[in-house]
Structure 1
Amino acid sequence: MTDGGGALAIVLHTHLPYVEGFDTWPFGEEWLWEAAATCYLPLVDLLDRRPDARALTLSVTPVLADQLVAPGVADRFRTFLDDTREDVYAREVDGFRANGHEAEARSLLALLGVYRAARGAADGDDLAGGLLRHASWTSSATHAVLPLIATPEALAVQLDVGTRGHRARTGRWDGGLWLPECAYAPALDAALAEAGVRTACVDLTDLLGHGDERHLRPWATGAGTTLLPIDRALMDLVWSDGAMPAAPAYRDTHRRTTFHLQPWSNDGAAWDPDRARRRAREDAAAFVRAAVTRTAGGGLATVALDTEFLGHWWLEGLWWLEAVLDEAAAQGLRLVHADHAAAAARARGVERLPAEARTTSTWGTPRDLTTWSGPRVAAIAWETRALELDVVAAGAAATERAWRELLAAGSSDWAFLRTRGTAGDYPDRRFAGHAEALRRELRGPGTLEPRLRGLAPGVARSPGPSSGPPR
């Protein structure tokens, strides 16, 4: 429950695996450029313009921040916008016009405007500053699935590097932490509390039941961390098969041109930004009406979305989000920052998580650990654990580079992409590369330079089995 009746918390989870410097297209650092142009910079613009957007809870993973501040990134991003994007759009526009398809040409010019606006905002050498200015939540160092980590030492490193990195870059942290993949298990309770984690999101849908009223209240772990259950009853309106982004007016992300551009709407017509924006406002109004109804009896509905879903995958998603701010004011829906909602709940007293929910859960498909440890990725899961045990057993002999390679290999993204089969052999190559580099470094400490591009600068030297996290 929240003070003053029902409320809605929107948590935006901002994350990409470490792709900077690791291949370009179709899989690699162009993911970073696309996300920055279509999502991160437009989102910063929204957050800067709208005082009421301060009620949104923004999480930025340390591994994403590591990439955005890496040397040369801003210059390569601008080159991508100035050269690659301008070139391919010009080619496609000319092609459509030569074949008499003026509507598609106009659609592409409107879409090119997104990249040109990003170019205007991409001054200086720091692409992360705007996001981090608004980011109140962090995550583990490289988005590892925390319940799959085998040792206290490796778990402490993931949490310590993540939280200290956020503090170093933002100068603040009130204890909000995104559990990667919403993966929670009671065995994490003590480590989360020791790391200073005060608030996190969990997905208890299959444990408490879809639409259960118990999703509308915070719960406490055995060590006192406040858990906010995400509310699938509302989230599914936006983020599920056949949800709002499938509406006819929105851009079709499946049909592509020769250069993989997307100038069509879901109904096959040329994409029309005015038509799409009208639909975004309609969907925002419907979403807020649903949220008002859902919280009519009080309580806190928490909706968590991948930030990249808004703008990058669902092009019109940021229009929808801004319209949600408008509609919340118009319909009397109270938007609340997750930290504020959790603090208010703690002041009143938060009950212990229900017994049936004191087990492992994720927001995967299914909502367990299968996506990251099932048959399709068993080799990755077992090898990650073996590497972790080797690094921890090495104690003080494990170098900074060894720990960085372990952090890189432990990213949840490699198993996720392998399970989904959406990135070819890229996740297999990336995992294998980090695993091999780690073995080399353990065999001959100092063989590799300490740095791994811009990843995890907070790692110094590994702890011994009885010491604290690396400093």
Structure 2
Amino acid sequence: MTGGDEVPGLFTLVLHTHLPWLAHHGRWPVGEEWLYQSWSAAYLPLLRVLFGLADEGRTGVLTLGVTPVVAAQLDDPYCLDGMYRWLGNWRLRAAEAASLPAGVKSDPLTACSPEALRAFGIRECAEADQALDDFATRWRHGASPLLRDLIDAGTVELLGGPLAHPFQPLLAPRLREFALREGLADTWLRVGRTPAGIWAPECAYAPGLEHDYASAGVSHFLVDGPSLHGDTTLGRPVGDTNVVAFGRDLKVSYRVWSPKSGYPGHAAYRDFHTYDHRTGLKPARVTGRAVPPDRKAPYDPERADRMVDVHVADFVEVVRSRLCAESERIGRPAHVIAAFDTELFGHWWYEGPVWLQRVLRALPAAGVRVGTLSDALAGGYVGAAVELPASSWGSGKDWRVWTGEKVADLVQLNAEVVDTALTTVDKALTQTASVIGPLPRDRIADQILRETLLTVSSDWPFMVSKDSAADYARYRAYLHAHATREIADALASGRRQTAQRLADGWNRADGLFGALDARRLPR
């Protein structure tokens, strides 16, 4: 690793924490299990790392996006109870592996011997015990108090976003404005701060969105590198606004993870896809990209740990070199941003949290100034204004994942459901407004908008386009569309009691965003 000679510029690490609403919608293979796996493998260790860095007095270590839909689940009593049970089940499965009797046959679908699985189970028991203790003591009131502590300590900058993670460019302007403002308000309720910056869902941008952001009080947002034609060394005000777009540096980000390569695929690291089917644990290492599960080598934690140090040193050198080269190119200190899904660190890449902890210590030691996006704004890492193209961070860096032929039915469904919802809610609020006195809260209208936002979640077309649990994604989109239509039809036909009963029933499954208020829908 390069020594500590200070290099020009600023490095920012941005993590985007997002899953769709999964509570009450299935367990396995897709559903709540996805939430609990990500929570245990990524969110728990990430916050453990951040609190450790905070205890060392480090500030501005990363910019952390947490979508309102994830925050809702991490604070939800049902999910908190389910998570504690899941951790207990993990502990039991680890104990089963640790106590396999001598002579037991190996799982024929893996190459892990009973002896290796027992050693693996002992380590997993220790990890599960740590997670259970951490969860019971630190997480008992949900994630929001923890995030508030990290924000107050200056350890992280928190990014917000719209409710339910819609693909904003395709959303009706009124609902788009409502989702963004309600999303920012939801974060304020949870952590006592309104985020100045957002991670726009899928980094999706359409010309004109900057005016929505300015109106909502958003000062900065993320786009992918190609949106700025690869020149991401400075934030750029968009159009005639003061809203700044920051671009992800793909050369640096792809060093860690890209569609084709990155550190997590190294042979020494734990393999995400290979299970021991007796216990549900993952006792193998990657071994090789073309190696089948029954030929994978047992996981070796010492070997993996040594490789983490190699990849920390490599990343630090990549960042140093990039800052020096880009600063020289533009004739002033440059800004380099690496951005990833939070779930990469721990859920997909088991060693990811350890790598994060070490790299966030190693960068300053190597002379790299680390700061948040807000630090970059305050430090003047902003260039000339720019006009951005329609873009995203999906395949092709355009909108094809959310508008392509595979998802044409979902595009049509979304348009129809949004039109139904807005028409019905407008009519309901107009009728209620005729009553003398303040406009009362309309829980039926609230639920119509809640289900509509769940219908238009960007996750469903993404999963269909990528053929990742596509059946589940289509089921969820059409389920929430059905809920919207069912409630709206009853209300529009004058059957208010029926609409109320239906809204209450759907709310038992989809009661997130309790402060969502249809009266704030732009008229």
Asked if these proteins are the same fold (TM beyond 0.5), I'd say yes
1:129-278 paired onto structure 2 within 5 Å: 129-134=145-150, 136-149=158-171, 151-205=172-226, 208-209=229-230, 214-222=231-239, 223-240=241-258, 241-258=260-277, 259-267=279-287, 268-278=296-306
Residue of structure 1 in register with 2:401 after alignment: 371
Aligned to 1:295: 323
Q: How has the CA–CA distance of structure 1 residues 364 and 273 changed in structure 2, closer, same or farther, with 3 Å as cutoff?
A: same
Structure 2: 5+ residue runs without aligned partners?
1-5, 106-112, 151-156, 288-295, 328-332, 430-444, 492-498
Distance 2:7 2:196 in 1: 24
Where do 1:385-396 residues align within 5 Å? 385-394=415-424, 395-396=426-427
Q: CA deviation at 1:336?
A: 0.8
> What is the alpha-carbon distance in structure 2 between the residues aligned to residue 106 and residue 94 of structure 1?
9
Q: CA deviation digits over 1:407-432, x for unaligned, max 9? A: 11111111111111222521111111
1:206: Cα distance to partner? 6.5
1:284 Cα deviation after fit: 0.9
The residue matched to 2:518 in structure 1 has which SS? Answer: coil
State the Cα deviation string for residues 347-386 of structure 1 (Å, max 9, x = none).
xx64212x4xx21111101211111121111111111121
Written as runs of structure 1 = structure 2, the 5 A alignment for 1:28-107 is 28-51=31-54, 52=58, 54-82=60-88, 84-94=89-99, 98-99=104-105, 101-107=114-120
CA gap of 1:103–1:53, structure 2 versus 1, over 3 A, is farther
Question: CA offset at residue 126 of structure 1?
Answer: 2.2
Displacement of 1:173:
2.7
Give yes or no for contact 1:38–1:312 (8 Å, CA) kept in 2: yes
TM-score (structure 2 length as normaliser)? 0.82
Pairing of 1:452-471 with structure 2 (within 5 A): 453-463=510-520, 467=523
Contact 2:187 2:195 in 1 (8 A): no
1:37 to 1:53, Cα distance in 2 relative to 1, 3 A: farther
The one-character-per-residue Cα deviations of 1:79-138 (angstroms, maximum 9, x if unpaired) are 1111x2233334444558524531233123323433322111112642313245436211
Distance of 1:461 and 1:176 partners within structure 2: 24
Tell me if the contact between 2:167 and 2:458 (Cα under 8 Å) persists in the aligned partners.
Answer: yes
Question: Percent same amino acid among aligned pairs?
Answer: 30
Shift of 1:207: 5.8
Q: Deviations over 1:276-322 (max 9, x none)?
A: 12211210110010000000123111111111110111010011111
2:205 alignment partner AA: Y
In the aligned structure 2, how far is the partner of 1:187 from the partner of 1:396? Answer: 29
Counterpart of 2:20, as a letter, is: P
Amino acid at match of 1:238: V
Query: Which of structures 1 and 2 has the bigger CA Rg?
Result: 2
Distance 1:276 1:95 in 2: 25
| Equivalent of 2:453 in 398, 407, 414 | 407
Give TM-score, length-normalised by structure 1: 0.91
Q: For the structure 1 residues 420 and 93, does the alpha-carbon distance in structure 2 shift closer, same or farther, using more than 3 Å as the test?
A: farther
Matches of 1:276 and 1:370, distance apart in 2: 37
Aligned residue for 2:154?
A: none
Q: How many residues align?
A: 453
1:27 aligns with 2:40: no
Deviates more, 1:312-321 or 1:182-191: 182-191
Verify the 8 A CA contact 2:61 2:360 in the aligned structure 1. Answer: no
> Is 2:364 the counterpart of 1:333?
no
- AA paired with 2:64? L
Shift of 1:187: 2.2
Matched letter for residue 514 of structure 2: P
2:384 aligns with one of 338, 351, 375? 351
- 1:400 is matched by which residue type in structure 2? D
- Give the residue type in structure 2 aligned to 1:380: L
Paired residues of 1:361 and 1:369 also in contact (CA < 8 A): yes
Give unpaired runs (5+ residues) of structure 1: none
Hey, what's the Cα distance between the residues in 1 that align with 2:235 and 2:87? 43
CA distance in 2, matches of 1:41, 1:247: 24
Asked whether the equivalents of residues 281 and 319 of structure 1 are also in contact (C-alpha less than 8 Å), the reply is: no
Change beyond 3 A, Cα 1:71–1:326: closer
Using the alignment, how far apart are the partners of 2:356 and 2:82 within structure 1? 29
Tell me the distance in 2 between the aligned counterparts of 1:202 and 1:424.
Answer: 26
Equivalent of 2:489, from 420, 436, 443?
443
Rounded to whole Å, the distance in 2 between the matches of 1:344 and 1:392 is 43
Distance (Å, rounded) in 1 between the aligned partners of 2:195 and 2:186? 14
Q: Does 1:11 align with 2:24?
A: no
Distance 2:222 2:448 in 1: 31
1:175-199 Cα offsets, whole Å, 9 max, x none, are 1111111111222111111111111
Inter-partner Cα distance in structure 2 for 1:314 and 1:325: 17
Contact 2:96/2:121, CA 8 A, preserved across alignment: no
Distance 1:154 1:376 in 2: 24
Identify which range, 47-56 or 291-300, moves more after superposition.
47-56
Structure-2 separation of matches of 1:423 and 1:165: 29
Cα shift at 1:244 = 0.9
Report the CA distance shift for 1:228/1:80 in structure 2 as closer, same or farther (over 3 A).
same
Q: For residues 136 and 156 of structure 1, what CA distance do their matches in structure 2 show? A: 20
> Matches of 2:32 and 2:349 in 1, distance apart?
20
- Distance in 1, matches of 2:249 and 2:46, equals 23
